[in-house]
Amino acid sequence: MTHPYLRPRRLRATPALRRLVAETRVSPAELVLPMFVREGAAGPVPIASMPGVVQHSRDSLRRAVAEAAEAGVGGVMLFGVPERRDAEGTAACDPGGVLNVAIADAVAEAGDALVVMADLCLDEFTDHGHCGVLAADGTVDNDATLEVYARMALAQAEAGAHLLGLSGMMDGQVAAVRAALDEEGRTDVVLLAYAAKYASAFYGPFRDAVESTLTGDRRTYQLSPSNGREGVREAMLDVAEGADIVMVKPAASYLDVLADVAAVSEVPVWAYQVSGEYAMVEAAAANGWIDRDRAIEESVLAIRRAGAEAVLTYWAVELAERLRRDAR
């Protein structure tokens, strides 16, 4: 009988040892809460496919932003649900549009306690549901969309957004928005590029959340799930265009891309744990099929381990509160 000389189990023997040797930790400051605000809502409206997530009214948004700041999360990412949509997504650039008003409300509420971020994309604002404006032949017109993004960025900066999340996957969007902002002296506004955003089924519940009805699909601008190298290329292009942070999205099904981007990026790398990832855990947990709390923690930990320095997650506040309780 030989006895093993090397015993990795030694470091797993007690909770104190396991805690001490943990390679990856999650802390509240690196969690970002995505939030929806619905124009004209009288109070929070539940989102059926995302139990526990709501479309906020102006008032409930302010309360929830205060709660997020109190929980110590790093930031909030705002999405608007407008009452009216048109082909050009006009409301996105209107200072009185739902998202721009929400940005100002969130900044007024949170001050400098957290980073107020805004989604910079047209899909919530267009009646066809695409992330850009359409050419005469019905395709998404890349360069015409860049002009709208530039105006949208200025409106969001004017409203007080600290960081803009460029999620439209148009070529050249980072450079176009950076140039427009700098031209107006907005050199301090941070740009987060959804650099590697995949055409994913896991965005399903998000369509509910923003009530967007898409004609067709997004495969002419979002990445194909089959392509990892292209995701790294997109991230590097965005860095070259001046992105301050790059992101991979969705997270769980793209941890390899995340790790590859993290290995070469000279700017921070984040990941977005999307609506479908949230809904799957909530649905399985509601059926008693998995341990909800452990699944939440494990899923976020895995995203951090793969290389994300911050994670956008609908569980941000709950997880931040739990982490702070556990730390005591």
CA distance 289 to 167: 33
Answer yes or no whether residue 221 interacts with ligand PBG by CB under 6 A. no
Would you say 19 or 219 has its CB closer to ligand PBG? 219
Q: Is 207 annotated as a binding residue?
A: yes
Answer yes or no whether residue 274 interacts with ligand PBG by CB under 6 A. yes
Answer yes or no whether residue 153 interacts with ligand PBG by CB under 6 A. no
Which of these, 218, 184, 37, lies nearest to 118 by C-alpha position?
37
Strand segments (E) across 86-210:
115-120, 163-166, 190-197
Helix (H) or strand (E) holding 211: none
The least CB distance from residue 21 to ligand PBG, in Å, is: 33
The least CB distance from residue 28 to ligand PBG, in Å, is: 20
Among 275, 296, 310, 313, binds ligand PBG (CB under 6 A): 275
Count of residues interacting with ligand PBG (CB under 6 A): 10
In the residue annotation, 248 being an active-site residue is answered as no
Query: Catalytic pick from 197, 210, 255, 315?
Result: 197
Residue with tokens 């050419």: 135
Q: Is 325 annotated as a binding residue?
A: no
Residue numbers 191-220 binding ligand PBG by CB under 6 A: 203, 206, 218
DSSP letter for each residue of 250-285 = SSGGGHHHHHHHHHH-SS-EEEE--HHHHHHHHHHH
Answer yes or no whether residue 123 interacts with ligand PBG by CB under 6 A. yes
CA distance 328 to 322: 10
Answer yes or no whether residue 55 interacts with ligand PBG by CB under 6 A. no
CA distance 260 to 242: 20
In the residue annotation, 304 being an active-site residue is answered as no
Residues 6+ apart with CB under 8 A from 55: 36, 37, 38, 41, 44, 45, 47, 81, 209
Q: Is 234 annotated as a binding residue?
A: yes
Binding site members for 5-aminolevulinate: 207, 218, 275, 314
For the annotated catalytic residues, the residue numbers are: 197, 249
Binding site members for Mg(2+): 234
What is the binding site for ligand PBG (CB under 6 A)? 119, 121, 123, 131, 167, 203, 206, 218, 274-275
